[in-house]
Structure formats: structure tokens, C-alpha cells
Structure 1
Amino acid sequence: MKKQHQADWSAAEQAQQHYLIEPRHLAGGGDVRHVIEFLRASGWTDRSKRGGPLILDSPDHTVRVGYDPFTQPGSWTIRGTATRQQEAWHATLGRQTPVEIVAGFTDALTRPRSAHAPNVWAPLQEQGWQTERGRHFTAMSPDGNAFVQFHRAGPGEAFWWVGARTEHGRAWDAHFTLSTPMHLIQSFSAALADPQPVMRPRGHVPPSDRLRITSVSVLPSQLGAWQQARITAARAAAWARNSWLSSRSRPAARSRAIANHAYR
């Protein structure tokens, strides 16, 4: 009987119309849960209050990610506190920044830094973005609708400026202070330049003639499985990271105990 119920449920499931959108930098904001649920699954603490902005703190309390849709124009704000190895930093991303691109930055907050020196421009150049040297070093997308710029505001002043435009004007902007860790900006630029389309449901496709849109039918169970796979990957990475830190701390604790006993 149970198998029969499952078969009936599967048969009753209705496909929903969605759209694959290219280029992704013009796809619109998307579902913020793509970012937020990944951070939660990675062990971040949710400080949000009901009816207010979303706020999450990193496990070590050095980074805070916020999303406020209640103010105009609304934005993502990400702040890193000063540590021994890192100056304080701040990033602001417009509300219509596609969540897949935001996640390029925020997902990197949950991973250890690579041993390789970061290069913000490399992912862009690999995807055909054109770079131009001048007062401001700039990379422009192949369609001419998105840019990454190292903006020199004045003597000793500089910041990173990223944005996208349509025939209707500005779609979104993002700003990163000069002290923002470079590996995070590189991860952001890699997500920005990724040629893979992103998916949006009906009613959430921006009005622009510069989009390439493909209609697809998707089952709710498929959407749920894709979302769950991302969350599962975050939980697995967090578990592995915590296990590694725990295994490192145990020998150190034993050494301290032995040393304390020797001096008694």
C-alpha cells in the first residue's frame, strides 16, 4: 500500500515552467535561500529577527553577512572584523545581484584559503573578458554589459567596483573595500564569469532584450534535490573541517596536560 501511495504521488507531481537565463549577470536577484541556507549548513549562526533583515555570523565571529530587502534600494552587506592577519573590510552588493554570483563570494567565506596567490582577473580573461589598463584597471564582459574595475578614487584611495547594465540602465552594483581579501574577490569574479546559465521561475525573468532565455519544465522534486545537494555538500565540508580541527586540538591538549603534570 505504501509503494502505491508513493507511485500515486509521483504521478500527480506537476512540472513547473522555469527559464534558463544567459548571461547570468543579467538574470536578476533570484532566491536568497541559495546563499543563506548554504551558510546555515556550513555552521553559521542565524541572528535574524522575525520581520527584519537576514543576519548570519561566521563560526569564529569574524564575518557577518546581512541581507536587507526592507530599505531602498536594499542590499547585501558583508563585514569582516580586523584580526592579526587581516584588516577590517566591507563589501556591499545590490539586491539584484544574482544569488549565484553572491554565493561565489559567500561560499568562499566557508572554505580555507588556497595556498596559491589569488588573481581576480584570471577567471575573467579565461572567459573572454577584455581588460584595459588606465587610471582604473577594468575588465569588460564579452557582451559589454558587465564590468569589474579596480577603481582608484584618489591618492592612496582605491576600491573594487563591479556592476551590470541593461538597455534600461543599471541592473546592480557591488563594491569591495581595498582590504577585502583577494581570494574572496577572485571567487566572486569566477562566479560572475561562469558561462553556465542560471534558472529563474516564471514571473522572475528581468525585462531585457539582452537575455538569452530557454524555457524548461522542472519537477518540484528535481528542484528540491538540487537544493538539497548543495546543502548536503556544505554540511559535509563543515563536518570534515570541524573533525580536522578537533583532531589537531587533541594532541595539543595532551601535550599541555603532560607539561602541567611534569611541573607539579
Structure 2
Amino acid sequence: MSKKQHRGWGVGEQAEQHYLVEPRHLAGGGDVRHVSEFLRAAGWTDQSRTGGPLVFDSPARTVHVAYNPFVRPGGWTITGKANDHEPEWNVTFNPQTPVEIVAGFTDALTKSRSAHAPNPWAPLRQHGWETERAQHFTAVSPDRNAWLQFHQTGEGQAHWWAGARTEHGRTWDAVLTPSTPMHLIEAFSAALADPQPVMRPRGNIPPSRWIRTTSVSVRPSELGAWQQARISAARAATWARNSWASSSPRTHTPTPRPYAAAAGAVRTGR
């Protein structure tokens, strides 16, 4: 594989080989800190115990996020408590769900709702996913290897189901109860359909001929700067929400795309 090196490295800092992986839905689980550090920076309470699963509660203690790798099938469990306006809802992502896709959902938990009416299918159509109307309404990725489906099996029996597969079989699943707030499902579908590649270190690329990779050499300080930019965005957005009354206009703080500088590398098939 060809390798791209970045200019201006500090003296004595050793570059590390990483890969930009696409499509992102086949990239494998990734580093769970991509999710947990954002929640912590957004003011969520870390209830985790040493050697146990990750556990976070929202500031109002209305949403509970956990990641448990010690049980089968394990993975992410997210629960929203019932209130006067919404029933309880539950979401699960298995451990191989790419953290960037999980973060599409969990990042949205930390942000104010948009004024527009949410549409989970819109981000998928925008990026060329095909929608199919049958017993279950389904959107399928351009490579036909990922999907989002509103699955109805009978009166009052429905759930949202997403997942991906390689030539070796299904790699991950996500299940969302129908009571899950629609703006969160839209945020999840936007992350699922995002065509931007995601980064994985050497040795962490799933074995699949359907994955495309770009080899890049990255400094540890550069990785740290990308991670810090994401954390800083969470802190800034949290500070803005806490500093203004609900009637005050707010400026949206976008979550940065950390790998933009690395995306120019020459792609190599895998």
C-alpha cells in the first residue's frame, strides 16, 4: 500500500500507520472513547467502575448510556426514561457497530432539538441510498451492504432495525424501539449514510474485500489534536446551552471532521 506522510512533523516524533476506511459501515467497532469522551465533555456523569462496563447518565438523569464488552452479545445499550410527552425508549448497538455511527446517535443526545420536523430517510436519500416499500419500509446503501428498516410484524409490533454485512456475513446490528425520538433516529441515519471514511489503526481493519482503505502516516500529536477538537466542540456547545436562556438565539457548533487533512492520500484497494 502507498503511504502519505504529513509535512511539518516535530523532531523525534514517530509516525504511526493508520488507515482511512470506507464505507464506514464496514469499518469495525473502533475506539469507544470516541463516544464516551464526548459525553463526558458534554457534562454527562460517568458512573463507570474500574474493570466494569462504561456507564453514563445525562445531566438530567433522563437518559442512560452503557457499553458492556463483558457479556454476550454485549455492546451499547441506551435508555430514555418516560416523561409527560414521550414513553420510555431503548436502543441497542452490538460491539462491532462503528463508533462513529453510534456517536451520530449519542452526540445528538447532548444537543438541542432542531426546529425542523425530523425525517430519518432524508439523509439516506441524499447520499444515494435506495428506499423500498414493502411490508417493511427499507433504505439500502449504494453498495447494498447496509440498511435501515422500519420493521413491522403486526398490530402494535414494530421496531427500527439497521445493520451491515460483508462477504463473511452480518457484522453488526442496531435495534431502536418505535418510541425512540425521531430526531435521534435522523441523527443516527445521517451518521450511517455519511460517505466520509473513518480512521482505524494498523491491525484493526476487518478482513473484507468490500472495504477500501487509504494508508496514512499520522503523528500521535496529530491524533491527539483531532480528538481534542471533538472534545472542545462538545464543551463549547454545552457552555453555550448553559449560558443562555432558552429563548435566546443559539449558534450551532458543528462537530469537526478530524480526518479531512488525511483524506487526500492515494487510495489503495483491499
Do the two structures share a fold, i.e. TM-score over 0.5? yes
Q: If you compute each CA radius of gyration, which structure gives the higher value, 1 or 2?
A: 1
Query: Which residue of structure 1 aligns with residue 191 of structure 2?
Result: 191
Query: Which residue of structure 2 aligns with residue 160 of structure 1?
Result: 160
Determine the C-alpha separation between the residues in 1 that align with 2:95 and 2:203.
17
Determine the C-alpha separation between the residues in 2 that align with 1:202 and 1:103.
22
Determine the C-alpha separation between the residues in 1 that align with 2:137 and 2:247.
44
In the superposition, the TM-score normalised over structure 2's length comes to 0.87
Query: Which residue of structure 1 aligns with residue 24 of structure 2?
Result: 24
Query: Which residue of structure 2 aligns with residue 50 of structure 1?
Result: 50
- C-alpha deviation, 1:115, in angstroms: 0.9
- C-alpha deviation, 1:72, in angstroms: 1.7
- C-alpha deviation, 1:90, in angstroms: 0.2
Which digits, 9 at most, give the CA deviation of each residue in 1:243-263, with x for residues without a partner?
124998xxxxxxxxxxxxxxx
- C-alpha deviation, 1:153, in angstroms: 1.9
Determine the C-alpha separation between the residues in 2 that align with 1:44 and 1:246.
20
- C-alpha deviation, 1:10, in angstroms: 2.5
- C-alpha deviation, 1:84, in angstroms: 1.1
Q: Which amino acid aligns with 2:83?
A: T
Query: Which residue of structure 2 aligns with residue 131 of structure 1?
Result: 131
Q: Which amino acid aligns with 1:119?
A: N
Determine the C-alpha separation between the residues in 2 that align with 1:32 and 1:153.
33
Determine the C-alpha separation between the residues in 2 that align with 1:208 and 1:197.
16
Q: Which amino acid aligns with 2:158?
A: A
Determine the C-alpha separation between the residues in 2 that align with 1:88 and 1:246.
25
Query: Which residue of structure 1 aligns with residue 5 of structure 2?
Result: none
Query: Which residue of structure 1 aligns with residue 95 of structure 2?
Result: 95
Alignment partner of 1:232 is 2:229: no
Report the more deviating stretch, 67-76 or 24-33.
67-76
Alignment partner of 1:180 is 2:180: yes
Judging changes above 3 Å, is the alpha-carbon distance between structure 1 residues 246 and 194 closer, same or farther for their aligned structure 2 residues?
closer
Q: Secondary structure at the match of 1:119?
A: coil
As a proportion of its length, which structure holds more helix? 1
Could you tell me the percent identity over the aligned residues?
A: 71
Which digits, 9 at most, give the CA deviation of each residue in 1:170-224, with x for residues without a partner?
1000000000000000000000000000000011100000000110000111000
Query: Which residue of structure 2 aligns with residue 254 of structure 1?
Result: none
Query: Which residue of structure 2 aligns with residue 257 of structure 1?
Result: none
Determine the C-alpha separation between the residues in 1 that align with 2:155 and 2:205.
42
In the superposition, the TM-score normalised over structure 1's length comes to 0.89
Which digits, 9 at most, give the CA deviation of each residue in 1:36-67, with x for residues without a partner?
00000000000011111100000010000000
Q: Secondary structure at the match of 1:172?
A: strand
Q: Which amino acid aligns with 2:233?
A: A
Determine the C-alpha separation between the residues in 2 that align with 1:125 and 1:85.
30
Judging changes above 3 Å, is the alpha-carbon distance between structure 1 residues 203 and 57 closer, same or farther for their aligned structure 2 residues?
same
Alignment partner of 1:73 is 2:58: no
Q: Secondary structure at the match of 1:161?
A: strand
Query: Which residue of structure 1 aligns with residue 114 of structure 2?
Result: 114
* Backbone CA RMSD of aligned residues: 1.3
Determine the C-alpha separation between the residues in 2 that align with 1:200 and 1:194.
17
Query: Which residue of structure 2 aligns with residue 252 of structure 1?
Result: none
Structure 2 gaps of 5+ residues are 1-8, 249-270
Which digits, 9 at most, give the CA deviation of each residue in 1:8-36, with x for residues without a partner?
x9311011000000100000000000000
Alignment partner of 1:215 is 2:212: no
Determine the C-alpha separation between the residues in 1 that align with 2:179 and 2:156.
12
Determine the C-alpha separation between the residues in 1 that align with 2:90 and 2:173.
14
